[in-house]
Amino acid sequence: MSKILTIGANGQIGRLFCQKAKDAELPIRAMVRNDEQRARFEAQGIEAVVGDLEGDFFHAFDGCDRVVFTAGSGGSTGGDKTLLVDLYGAIRAISESEARDVDHFVMVSALRAEQPLEAAPAMRHYMVAKLLADQRLLESDVPATILRPGRLTDEAGSGRVRTSLAAGEGFDVSRENVAGCILEALRQPSTANRVVDLLDGNTPIEGAFAEG
């Protein structure tokens, strides 16, 4: 059975998604940075492979027909890592997905990525990286869902979101809700590209994606 490759599996959203996918009995493979992380996933019964977004990782695609990209360089790194991981790492993953005829690519991006100059100055390089990666994905031959979450929180997932700023108040979305949306996106037909804003709201995740 073909698997779902999760790039960035050891990140906060990635770990939540992998657990949800395992609970849903979906065939997943977690891509992690080192053997210690791999052992931790395998101890949870989740297949894992070591790959480096700044180096060699194409072997991780073997036997996978869907890809989730939720990797990020992290807030404590500089613009060089943002460029190499969030932008170039994503572009390389998209190119490999094209070469392997991947059926569906789910990208975790950022709210308002299409307007990087409206972000706080310290965040503009990150938003540019997200914008360019999103554009590369939409221009590719790979069916794609791009999720653009707002300000991430560690609140327990409510299972309810909204996909429009105008439909409610606030800019927050829990990481657990984002993980649930990744799972639901993978359950939906992948014949058309979709870009979905994500914020905490009142619509059940299943309903939000059905409407989308």
Tell me the C-alpha distance between 37 and 41, whole Å.
6
Mean pLDDT of 67-71: 97
Q: pLDDT at residue 116 above 60?
A: yes
Q: What's the pLDDT at 200?
A: 96
Q: pLDDT at residue 65 above 80?
A: yes
Select which of 17, 69, 126, 209 is catalytic.
126
Query: What pLDDT digit, counting tens, does each position of 122-168 carry?
Result: 899 999 999 999 999 999 999 999 999 999 999 999 999 999 887 77
Tell me the C-alpha distance between 37 and 26, whole Å.
20
26-35, 78-87, 150-159, range with the lowest pLDDT? 78-87
Residue 50: other Cβ atoms inside 10 A:
16
Which domain, by its residues, includes 166? Answer: 3-211
Output b/e per residue, 178-207; b: 16+ Cβ within 10 A: bbbbbbbbbebebeeebbbbbbbbebebee
Total count of domains within the chain? 1
Q: What's the pLDDT at 190?
A: 61
Position 77 confidence tier, pLDDT thresholds 50, 70, 90: low
Q: What's the pLDDT at 109?
A: 97
Q: What's the pLDDT at 165?
A: 82
Residue with more model confidence, 208 or 64: 64
Q: pLDDT at residue 212 above 70?
A: no
Q: pLDDT at residue 211 above 80?
A: no
| 49 bridge partner residues | 31
Residue 198 sits in a domain whose CATH number is: 3.40.50.720
Q: What's the pLDDT at 209?
A: 79
Q: What's the pLDDT at 73?
A: 73
**Is 126 considered catalytic here?**
yes
Mean pLDDT of 114-124: 93
Residue with more model confidence, 191 or 202: 202
Q: What's the pLDDT at 79?
A: 77
